[in-house]
Structures are given as C-alpha cells and as structure tokens.
Structure 1
Amino acid sequence: MSVCGVVGTPPELERGTGVPAHVQIERWLLGSIGRGELAPGDRLPGERELAGRLGVSRMTLRQALARLELDGVLVRVPGRSGGAFVAEPRADCDLTGVAGFTEQLRRAHPRARTRVLTARTVPAPAPVAAALGLAAGEPVHEVARVRSAGRSPVALERSFLPALPGLLEEDLSGPLHALLAGKYGLAPRSMLEHLDPVVATAEEAAELGIEPGAPLMRIERTARAAGGTPVEHARDLFRPDRVRISTRSGLSAPAPPPGHRAGP
C-alpha cells in the first residue's frame, strides 16, 4: 500500500447550496478514485492534514469517510500505522447462468488468482452423498480453493465431485465446470443454489484475511449434467465486502382478467 500525500486539488466547498460539506467531500474523493488519482491500496493523508486542507472540522471529514467506508469505497484501519485506504473494487458474481465464479472473476479481474488448499479423495459425508446420489461413505473428490482479486481473498470454495479417474492430477486452479465438460463430458446444465448469511470460523477467517465472526455469504450448490446426473456439490463462502452477488430475471406480461376478450 502506498501513502498518497496529494489527493488531487482540494475542492472549494460551496456554502449555502443545500449540499452538506461531507457530501461534497464524498463526491470529490469518488471523483479522484474514478479518474485514477487514487488507486486501490492508496492511503489518504491523515485526518488532521486533510481536514485542514479542506477547511472543515475533523468531525465533518469523519462523516464523509464513514459513509465511503459503509459503501465499500474505503477501508479504515485503526492504529498508528493505519488510516483510510482506497478499497479494492467488489467482484460481481452473477448466479443467473451456469458460468462459475472462477470464469466470471477471470473475465472481470486480470489479476484474479487461485490457491488450491485441498485436493484429495474422501468418504462422502451424508449430505454430500445425498446431493450426489451416492451412498454415505462412498469415495468423492474434495477440492478446496481460495479465490483472490487484486490484493486480497474474496471467496473460499469447497467442491465435492464424483471420484472421476485422473481428476486430481489435472490443473485445479481453473474452472472445474470446464474440466468436467472437456475431460469427462459432464458439462453442468442446471444448478440449484441456496444462499445463507453465516459468520466466519477461525479457520475460514485465516484463509480469507478477516476477523473470526465476520459476516460471510454462503452459497450451497448442486450442479447437474444433461439427464440430471449430479456432478458437483459445493459450499462456497464469499466476503460481502468484496463480492456482490446478483441474479437476473424477466417479467412476463400479466395474465388477462377472467372474461377478458382479445381485440379483433
């Protein structure tokens, strides 16, 4: 992270316009980030210095910084070596189609990377066996990975797959769905996903670079190939401060009321 001693040209805050000073400061900082004057990881000048340059109280400045932190634009770190830092932009994860998060992350973030934590064959726990249509204890492949975008981790993924021969010898840092399709002819065609808010355990927090008890979003997914064959059961954990989850839907025309007659 670098220290940014100059944050563009401080604006002349307009008085009596009905726009509060803290809102004008927010807009200025957002503009500086949008123009590339501030990059992810840059640290703003200290509160005393920045408030003095802006001609406002530290309380007014803190109001602006708090709002930008709430919106995920800034990260504030306490302590003498801390301060306000420009946050990495959030990654988008669209659950509408069958494109996995790996592929979406690679398209959106050139610096996206993957770290494989676990790649092994284990007896299937009962919930995993039920999802994959197996008997409890049958062998399955377990693959756990940490996804990062920019400087920090954004997701912890744990997938259970049928014990397909040779799968664990493949490159598991890429999209698993593409591997299933290309090597085994088991392209996922449909997925059922459940979303739940959870809190991070100590082990999960260590992998994701957050504090134990921090909020996470869990997505539990079962993917099926053509004909309904289960090919993956996954439990993914996403940092909501770094990932925005979305879906898309279309609205059909409302049904006509009873007795309605179409026009000529």
Structure 2
Amino acid sequence: MRMEGKRCIVTGAAQGFGLGIAEAFLREGGQVAMMDIQEDKVAEAAAGLGAGAHAIPCDVSDGASVAAACDAAAAAMGGIDVVVNNAGWTHVNMPMLDVTEEQFDRVFDINVKSIYHFAKAVVPRWRAQGGGVMLNIGSTAGIRPRPGLTWYNASKGAVNLMSRSMAVELAPDQIRVNCIAPVAGETPLLTSFMGEDTPEKRAAFRATIPLGRLSTPRDIANASVFLCSDEADMVTGVVLEVDGGRTI
C-alpha cells in the first residue's frame, strides 16, 4: 500500500508504460486519473481496473485540454498529489532531414511542451497544499542516442534536463520532480523506433542492452511506484535509468 491516499494523474494511460503505471498505483492503494487522447480506449482500460480508476480524455499538447483535465481529476479524486507525464510520441526512424516540420513539432508538443502545460496546471495547487510529486518519463535516447531518431532524442534530452531543473526550482515548495529514462520497450512506439518490426531489428536492439532484453511496462511501473511514494521523500532531481545497462 505504498501509494495509499495518493491521488495520481498518469498520462498516456490507455496502453504501454502508462497503463502499467496506473495498474501499479492502484494495486498499491492509490487513485488514478487515467488520461489519454484515445477516449474510448482509456475508458475501456479504466473500466477494467475497477474502483479508483478514472478515465479522463486529454490532449497533452493543448494547454486548455490539460487544464480542464486536471480540474476534472481534482474533482473526481478530491485533489491531486502525483502527476506522471508519460504520454510520448516519436517520428519514425529516418534520416534527420527527412523529418517534416509538422512531425518535429508533434514530437516536441507531446514530449516536452506537455510538461509545461501540466506544471502550469498543478504547481499552483501543490504550492497551496504544501507539496506534490511530478515524475516525467524521459528516455535513454536523451543520454545515449540512437541514429535515425535525432529529433526524438533531442526531445527526451530536454525532458531529462528539464526534470532536474524543475526539481531545483520547486524544492523550496516541497515539490519533488524526478525522471525515469527507460530503454526501448515493448510498447506501441517500438516499431517507429526501429523503423520496421522484424526479428533482425529486435535482435539488433536487444544486442545493445547488456541484460539482453527490452524494457516492459512492469519495469517502469515498479520504478514509478518507488519515486512517487513516500519511500523516496528525499529523492528529487534524479534521472533513473531503467535500461538493463544500456547507458553504461
């Protein structure tokens, strides 16, 4: 029951890492506002998790949508204690100059600007209540980049650094900010990372990971529970690599 009494937002919660994090938070006693732009899919996912799960449609790239979703989450749960900025997007693995400006903007709007929107929506609440916790899902791509993903790598580098900067600025308000940097995982974005999903491509990706496997939602969820629980109340500004040794 490490999340008992915690009122949590998890974005991108209809599938992948986000769904795994939501499941873990609920299992550990928290409430979770599961946010996703895929309205039907997140409603189905929340219904499958039972009491304590609240499906809330949200376009994380749009400030008005984020503000409205946070208001809805606070109303449903009686407040907000934890925000996990998990929603993410990537361009397909390709030469950097082949990525269109529209694709570039979408990657940065979802991966980076979304954190700005959520900070605007929740930091004033947390200052008023005396603290809160934000966890951003960055990536090993922002630490040890792979070729063909230059603009995605850059967006995750921004997430990794922004998390540390936010932690320093918000510490006097008792607001903790941390980041998880997963290695490539078994999520819907994997095909885009690889460019094509073939046994050979998967083997090549696994070969770069010393522990010999891709990450799973369970791996990221376990780390998220620790960083968002009171067990980590002295931990802020950390970029935790959950990567099987990829960045060594």
- TM-score interval, smaller chain: under 0.3
Does 1 or 2 have the higher relative contact order (CA < 8 Å, sep 6+)? 2
Find the structure with the greater CA-based Rg.
1
TM-score (structure 1 length as normaliser):
0.24
Please identify which structure carries the higher strand content.
1
Please identify which structure carries the higher helix content.
2
